[in-house]
Amino acid sequence: MNQPAPTTDPESRLLALGLSLPVAPKPVAAYIPTRRAGDLLFVSGQIPLVPGPDGSPTLLFKGAVPDEVSMEQAQECARRCVLNGLAAMKAAVGSLACLRQVVRVGVFVCSRPGFFDQPKVANAASELLMEVFGDAGRHARAAVGSIALPLGAPVEIEFIVEIDPACDP
């Protein structure tokens, strides 16, 4: 894991990792991407949507792990969920530098019975958060299997992050 220097800001770290923030995906339904309460920002469950050939959001992969989606593909999905979540956070607070710490990450992996490597899928998300935020990216986590996720997503990830009060408007 290539850990960038802790002094660079989170968005520079993303660039250094060869990644960039996507446009924050619109919620699939009647809710909002983030809700703030005090210093906590609650981020809605993210699925690995990417812009499709015609520009409309499409799933990176579809189905259950490991039969329809491989471990590597599921990990790629987990990283995409993080990027979509970061885009939603930035849209909410203006800059990723306003995040004091990542608090909790909830990971749901669409799993066949007998698939027990949810933590290995979730690690791809956790490691990306640590690469982007350094120690502030370390978090409590729950990773579980799910029989089916929205649109057929292999992974859904939700976040609770703490905002730096100094960033208050």
| Residues contributing to the site for a second copy (CB under 8 A) | 27-35, 37-40, 42-45, 64, 101-106, 108, 110-120, 122-123, 126-127, 130, 138-153, 156, 158, 160, 162
Torsion-angle region of residue 163: left (phi > 0), alpha (psi -120 to 50) or beta? beta
Min separation Cβ 14 and a second copy, Å: 18
Of 9 and 68, nearer to a second copy (C-beta) is 68
Of 4 and 106, nearer to a second copy (C-beta) is 106
**Euclidean distance between CA atoms 136 and 164, whole angstroms:** 12
Of 38 and 55, nearer to a second copy (C-beta) is 38
Min separation Cβ 129 and a second copy, Å: 9
- Give every CB contact of residue 119 below 8 A, 6+ residues apart in sequence: 143
Min separation Cβ 24 and a second copy, Å: 13
**Euclidean distance between CA atoms 62 and 96, whole angstroms:** 29
Min separation Cβ 104 and a second copy, Å: 5
Min separation Cβ 70 and a second copy, Å: 16
Of 23 and 40, nearer to a second copy (C-beta) is 40
